[in-house]
Amino acid sequence: MNDQQITQFFTELRTKVDEAEKRVKELSATAKTAADKAQSQAKAQLAGLEMKAKEHHAKLEAAEAKAKKWLEEKALATKEKIESWKAQQEVKRLDAYAKLAEDYAVASIAAAGSTVDEAARAVVEAIGARLDADSAK
C-alpha cells in the first residue's frame, strides 16, 4: 500500500466510524424518547385506574355490606328451616332468602372486579416505578 491508499483507507474508516457514532447517538435519543413516552403513558393510565378505583370503592363497600347480610342470613337459615319454608309454602321467606343469595352473588362479582382493577393499577404503578428507576441509571 502506498501513502495515498493508506490515507484513503483511514479517511474511509473515519467516515464509517463517524456514521456509526451518529447512528448510536440517534438510537440512544430514540430509546430515551420511547422511555419518556412509555413513562408518560404509564402515569396517565395509572391516574385513570386510580380514579376508577375510587369510583369502585363505594360500590365495593355496598357489596361488602350485602355479602355480610347474606352470610348472617345463611348462618341463621339452616337446611331444615329452608325445607320447612318449602313445605309450608312460605314464598315470602323463600323469595327474601333467594334475593339475599342473588345480592351476595352480585356483590361477590363486584368485589372480584374491584380486585382485578386494583391489580391492574398495581401493575401500571410497578411499570412506572421501574421506568423511573431505569431512567435514573
pLDDT along the chain (137 residues), means of 10: 78 82 77 77 80 78 84 82 89 90 86 82 82 79
Identity of the amino acid at 52: K
State pTM to two decimals: 0.50
Could you list the residue range(s) of the whole structural domain that residue 60 is in?
3-135
Q: Per-residue DSSP letters for the chain?
A: --HHHHHHHHHHHHHHHHHHHHHHHHHHHHHHHHHHHHHHHHHHHHHHHHHHHHHHHHHHHHHHHHHHHHHHHHHH--HHHHHHHHHTT-HHHHHHHHHHHHHHHHHHHHHHHHHHHHHHHHHHHHHHHHHHHHHT-
User: Cell 456514521 maps to which residue?
Assistant: 19
Q: Report CA-CA distances (Å) from 131 to 27, 41, 56, 127.
A: 18, 11, 28, 6
89: left (phi > 0), else alpha (psi -120 to 50), else beta?
left
Q: Report pLDDT digits (tens) over 107-133.
A: 888 888 888 878 887 888 888 788 888
The confidence score (pLDDT) of residue 1 equals 67
Tell me, what's the pLDDT at 56? 76
43 vs 37: CA distance, rounded Å: 10
How many domains does the chain contain in total? Answer: 1
